[in-house]
Structure 1
Amino acid sequence: MAKKKSEPQILSSVTNALRILKSFSTFEPTKKVGELAESLGLAKSTVSRLLSTLASEGFVIKDPETQAYRLGISVLTLAGIVTNDLDIHKEAAPVLHKLVNDTGETTHLAVMDGLDTIYIHKEECYHPVRILTHLGRRNPSYCTSSGKVLLAYSDDHIVEDIINKGLVSYTKNSITDPDLLRSELEMVREKKYAVSTEELTEGTKSVAAPIRDYTGKVVSAITVVGPIQRMKEYKIRDIAKKVSEAGKEASERLGYDERFFSR
């Protein structure tokens, strides 16, 4: 009788430690033991031991006055290794910088992670009034231009999973109708770029275009974002053209050759 293939062993302690690290966010940069225990459904003693272990390795830091924890430098070190090792990050960085000069607005590089969109690189604009965005922040894909680009070229089941999860309204412009979202994504495929006007955050507007790898697969989105006062409607077509050109340049840097996919 053939031996049954053993299942990989999952260590609950490691899983819980990672859950703790992932619970920190831009909106909740510090957390106390009790808060983590309640949100994760763990005993306070378990959370306390895991935090002590993470602190000993520099992954979290404890504030002696508030007794709250925040992420440590070790997380930043690992994040730097990941981004620097990504081909898309290395190849797109100079394109993003050029796009800032061409548009005068902040640019981002975004990828899909699960059902969310994450910024993995950012080039800040020179305006004194800027849009506050954060690297590593998870955004609902259907509410951002970069997310809509990535969704437009994703497998259908991903779009349906997002719809089944529920299209939450963040502003009055958020897309909450499934059919409207599907139509929007079809339009993105036709235009080859996406626009988001105050769909996630009021007062902001963004334009995004796809970046493809050498196989033709859309692996990232390049985005320009700014306040609606500067991102006027009559400027959008020109910005979209520049963003699309930047997306093509980044794609070519990754080995994409449009001639092989247009036959």
Structure 2
Amino acid sequence: MTKKRSEALDNDANRSGSVEKACRILKAMTDPSNQRLTDIAAHCGMGKSTVMRILDTLISEGLVLRDPETKRYCLGPEMARIGASAREKVDWRDVGRASLMRLADEFQDMVILAVLNGVETVCVDFQKGSYPIQANFQELGSRRTLGVGSGGVAVLAAMSESERETALRLVRPRLARYPLITDSLLRDRVDAAIRNGHAVLLDVVVEHMGGIAVAVLAPNGRPLAALSIAALSDRIQSREAELAASLKKEAAAIGARLAEQDWGPTASVGL
């Protein structure tokens, strides 16, 4: 290979890496909790100087705005124009709403439907229950790195072994902001989810709170999403078998509705 050819390939790789990082930053910013530079960098598992440099470029293109007083970032007008011409292949609210309402009515706790995207899940719908203490740390558009929450653990457990190992390697840098989620703990929770068919993760993201979840599968058996219930840890522990049975039933119902729409894309570990 000639020197010029080698340099050209290196430049292509650098450009590709920059585009990948920019995409990761933009996706992180769809979560309302990621508005500060520190939060965006931590979510993406990237250095603050790198994130700031990319944000400056995105600002110049109108894709991102920065408030000069609060120093917070938000998606810009160009993102709205891009979004206006895009649409989901599936109306997740349509396929999942009935299941979320039934579960919230039965157990009185927060029910969440989150779709797999790369090594994250994105909340596409939720339903609050009637119990006085609700888990309010997710909203529409919230993103969670796989393993940060029971939904991500359920998705990891439903992956093939090779895909799961790739995902675990990719999420490791992002877990620094969650000191209680160690590699050994995450693998232990995934192994338990594989054995039991449902995932439980308690007291590691929010004290005294946790979740129980199952994966929503495509017709080919690959995970597309996670259906979870978030609640006080003791409410999950005292009703685990009952919660798991109802979650599995409703996840299967959502999977059946997806199959009826003849929509079966496979999720990618990407990023």
State whether structure 2 residue 78 is matched by structure 1 residue 71: no
Answer yes or no: is 1:113 the counterpart of 2:117. yes
For 1:51, the equivalent position in structure 2 comes to: 59
CA contact (8 A) 2:37 2:52 kept: no
CA distance in 1, matches of 2:178, 2:22: 31
Q: Residues 158-169 of structure 1 correspond to what in structure 2 (within 5 A)?
A: 158-165=163-170, 166=172, 168=176
Alignment partners' CA distance in 1, 2:102 and 2:81: 27
CA distance in 1, matches of 2:255, 2:163: 23
Distance 1:31 1:149, change over 3 A: closer
Q: Secondary structure at the match of 1:142?
A: coil
Percent identity over paired residues: 20
- State how far apart, in whole Å, the 2-side matches of 1:113 and 1:37 are: 23
Q: State whether structure 2 residue 50 is matched by structure 1 residue 39.
A: yes
Instruction: Establish whether residue 235 from structure 1 lines up as the match of residue 239 from structure 2.
Output: yes
List per-residue Cα deviations over 1:142-195 (Å, max 9, x = no partner): 2421111111121222332344453658254x3431xx6445434323322111
Aligned twin of 1:137: 142
User: What corresponds to 2:35 in structure 1?
Assistant: 29
1:157 to 152, 159, 162: 162
Give secondary structure in 1 for the equivalent of 2:244.
Answer: helix
Deviations 1:210-255 (A, max 9, x none): 22223333321111111225x2522222111211111121122123
Q: Is the 8 A contact 1:203 1:228 kept in 2?
A: yes
Task: Please give the TM-score of this superposition, normalised by the length of structure 2.
Answer: 0.68
Alpha-carbon deviation of 1:113?
Answer: 2.4
**How many angstroms apart in 2 are the aligned matches of 1:81 and 1:224?**
33
With normalisation by structure 1, the TM-score equals 0.70
- Whether contact under 8 Å (1:213, 1:255) holds in the other structure is yes
Stretches of structure 2 that go unaligned for 5 or more consecutive residues are: 1-8, 42-46, 261-271
Question: Could you list the runs of 5+ residues in structure 1 that have no partner in the other structure?
Answer: 1-6, 257-263
Q: Give every structure 1 segment of 4 or more consecutive aligned residues whose post-TM-superposition deviation is greater than 6 Å.
A: 76-83
Map of 1:1-263 to 2, 5 A cutoff?
A: 15=19, 18=23, 21-22=26-27, 24=29, 25-30=31-36, 38-40=49-51, 42=53, 50-54=58-62, 59-63=63-67, 65-66=69-70, 68-72=72-76, 75=79, 85-131=89-135, 132-165=137-170, 166=172, 168=176, 170=178, 172=180, 174-177=181-184, 181-182=186-187, 184-228=189-233, 231-255=235-259
1:109 Cα deviation after fit: 1.2
Say which structure, 1 or 2, has more relative contact order (CA 8 Å, 6+ apart). 2
Q: Is the 8 A contact 2:116 2:226 kept in 1?
A: no
* One-letter amino acid of the structure 1 residue matched with residue 140 of structure 2: L
Comparing 22-31 with 243-252, greater Cα deviation is found at 22-31
Aligned 8 A contact 1:212 1:220 in 2: yes
Distance change (3 Å), C-alpha of 1:102 and 1:78: farther
Contact 1:111/1:150 (CA < 8 Å) preserved in 2?
no
SS in 1 for 2:183: coil
Between the aligned partners of 2:84 and 2:228, the Cα distance in structure 1 is 21
Structure 1 81/149 Cα, relative in aligned 2: closer, same or farther at 3 Å? farther
Change (3 A) 1:11 1:183: closer
Counterpart amino acid of residue 59 in structure 2 = L
Higher alpha-carbon Rg: 1
Give RMSD over aligned pairs.
3.9
Q: How has the CA–CA distance of structure 1 residues 94 and 63 changed in structure 2, closer, same or farther, with 3 Å as cutoff?
A: same
- Say if 1:82 and 1:207 are closer, same or farther in 2 by CA, change over 3 A: farther
- Distance in structure 2 (CA, Å) of the matches to 1:143 and 1:69: 23
User: CA 1:187 to 1:86, structure 2 compared with 1: closer, same or farther past 3 Å?
Assistant: same
Structure with the larger helix share = 2
How far, CA to CA, are the matches of 1:243 and 1:139 in structure 2? Answer: 20
Going from structure 1 to structure 2, the CA distance change for 1:169 and 1:150 (only over 3 Å counts) comes to same
Q: Relative to structure 1, is the Cα distance of residues 74 and 90 closer, same or farther in structure 2, using a 3 angstrom cutoff?
A: farther
Cα distance change of structure 1 residues 209 and 83 upon mapping to structure 2, 3 Å threshold: farther
